[in-house]
Amino acid sequence: MATTETRMPAVQECTVSGCSYNQDDGCHTFAITVYGANGVADCGTFVPLSRKGGLPKVLAQVGACSRADCIHNSDLECTASGVRIAPGEGDHAANCLTYSPR
């Protein structure tokens, strides 16, 4: 029987230091969700609490993404080899920099 390998894209870097899951420019939750509209892709897992959380030895992956207009998106999953997240402007606290409109 053939097996199908499923690999989620790594969050290679996240510079959103104000997020509870961020330590040393790395995201330490198990998986993030990306969403957004109007030309930006926001990280929906951003948590601005005063305490840090996550798992120190875990580097996050992209679990789901609803930016269907991104060239890396297939069936609402991210197919990029990895993504980078950085602070956004205004209400957009954390943006996927790897987002690229079709």
Q: Which spans of this chain sit near ligand SF4 (rule: CB under 6 A)?
A: 34, 41, 62, 65, 67, 70, 72-73, 78, 80, 83, 96, 98-99
68 Cα distance to chain centroid: 15
Least distance from C-beta 51 to ligand SF4, angstroms? Answer: 26
Of 28 and 73, which CB lies nearer to ligand SF4 in the complex structure? Answer: 73
Least distance from C-beta 84 to ligand SF4, angstroms? Answer: 9
**Burial code of 2-40, b = ≥16 C-beta within 10 A, e = fewer?**
eeeeeebbebbebebeebbbbeeebbbbeebebebeeeb
